[in-house]
Structure 1
Amino acid sequence: MTQLFFSDYHPSERPSAAPQPLVIFGAGGLGREVLVLLNQLNEAGANWDVCGFYDDQPPATPTVAGLPYLGTAHDLNQTQEPLAVAVAVGSSASRAAVVARLTSPQLTFPALVHPRVRLAPSQRVTLGAGCIIQQGCILTCDITLGRFVFLNLCCTIGHDAVLEDFCSLMPHANVSGAARLGTGVYLGTNATVIQGVRVGASTTVGAGAVVVRDLPASVTAVGVPARAIINEQ
């Protein structure tokens, strides 16, 4: 786990550095949104040189948002120089599968946090490699995010919450204080997990659902209050 400090996500506080090459894995709509995030980070003082997109499903055109499509995960693993990668895949399971395929030691996975998301050192927030936090998110204090956690627009995370590796929160999802999401949990748009509740690994919580009691692993839960309807194993 990597502790982020103020200067790590406010790049304008750091001296200027040489451009750092970065590619986006995921050439769909989320990939284009992550490109917007990277442009916003550069406007705030970062220096990412976004080279293009990779995806195992080639796009319909040779360019995406003005940048070239560069190939598949196999092609990306052939890189001979250090290269940062942003994995723009919304599904928790699919994102984990992509990361498992990206095996080159030349690849690194920086945490990318929108420049207007406040993360002061006094908040004691830890982020794992590959986390992406989009605009409008609010994180309070003493929070742990594992590797490759994705927070879409305007999510909120309360005190002492833990989100394990590959969790995915869609826009306006809310995780209350001391809640814990297991590996690969997916919260749909406007889903809420109330204080102290645990959600088991690989469980999907549907859009608008409110989780008021613990959920087991590998189920889909919907409704208010949320109830498990499908066992995915």
Structure 2
Amino acid sequence: MPHKGTHSYLKNIAIFGASGLGREVLMLIHQINHYIPTWNMIGFYDDNSDTPKTINKYPYLGDLKDLQAVKEPLYVAIAIGNPGLKAQIAEKITNENIQFATLIHPAVPNEAYQFNQIGEGSIITQGCILTTNVVLGRHVLLNLGCTLGHDVVLGDCCSLMPHVNIAGNSALGKGVYVGTNATVIQFLKVGDKAIIGAGAVVHRDLPAAVTAVGVPAKVIKRHHG
């Protein structure tokens, strides 16, 4: 079990994305601070002009242009589930004062003896399990209760929805989206920008830029780019 502790200072953090996932990331920040005070949450950024002035008591601070104008050091968590949009936002944030926050729920084991590698800007929520020698790229999202077996590799900007299971030695390319309760069995490869539907069971390799659904998963659509 994690233990409570203190830090001598808190790091300023903002969330880009003020929708439901943004509020879930806010909850994760509070959960982290409950055990080890780490973050000073200052508010939300979002390019949606309909964003309310306050989100769960935190202010809306502006759009991407406003974020790019920040003059003080700031950590940012990108709370966007769509892998392509997430990658675009990450690429556009070029302000040298900004660093991307890596957020891991305090009850998720992440010890040196696991030999896992977690990329900058990744978000790992409550109930996730990463066993050993797992590699996550940058800006990977693991939503509630995901499990990753040994030697799993997830490319940059992958988004896994709640209770996804990726078995050992499987590899997902960049920008893969995996729907709730989907499973990828062991020793498989999934190409860049693939979409795996909720509840699907992937039992063979999937090419890039396709949508696959069902049990077993079958390709129903091919995407451009």
- Runs of 5+ in structure 2 lacking a partner? none
SS at match of 1:53: strand
Q: Is the 8 A contact 2:115 2:134 kept in 1?
A: yes
**What is the CA–CA distance in structure 2 between the aligned matches of 1:193 and 1:177, rounded to whole Å?**
9
CA RMSD of aligned residues (A): 1.4
- For residue 222 of structure 1, the aligned residue among 185, 196, 213 is 213
AA aligned to 2:101 is P
Q: Is the 8 A contact 1:12 1:46 kept in 2?
A: no
**Deviation at 1:97?**
1.1
Match of 1:54 in 2: 45
- For residue 149 of structure 1, the aligned residue among 127, 140, 163 is 140
**What is the CA–CA distance in structure 2 between the aligned matches of 1:60 and 1:45, rounded to whole Å?**
30
Q: Is the 8 A contact 1:11 1:45 kept in 2?
A: no
Q: Is the 8 A contact 1:27 1:59 kept in 2?
A: no
Which deviates further from its counterpart, 95-104 or 182-191?
95-104
- Runs of 5+ in structure 1 lacking a partner? 1-9
- % of aligned pairs identical? 50
Alignment of structure 1 residues 179-218 onto 2, 5 Å: 179-218=170-209
**What is the CA–CA distance in structure 1 between the aligned matches of 2:75 and 2:184, rounded to whole Å?**
33
Normalised by the length of structure 2, the TM-score is 0.96
Count of residues in correspondence between the two structures? 224
1:39 aligns with 2:30: yes
Match of 2:64 in 1: 73
**What is the CA–CA distance in structure 2 between the aligned matches of 1:182 and 1:79, rounded to whole Å?**
33
Deviations 1:139-190 (A, max 9, x none): 1001000000000000000000000100110000010000000000010000
Match of 2:19 in 1: 28
**What is the CA–CA distance in structure 2 between the aligned matches of 1:124 and 1:230, rounded to whole Å?**
37
1:124 aligns with 2:115: yes
Q: Is the 8 A contact 1:175 1:195 kept in 2?
A: yes
**Deviation at 1:12?**
5.6
Q: Is the 8 A contact 1:194 1:210 kept in 2?
A: yes
Which deviates further from its counterpart, 131-140 or 56-65?
56-65
**Deviation at 1:13?**
7.7
**What is the CA–CA distance in structure 1 between the aligned matches of 2:33 and 2:149, rounded to whole Å?**
28
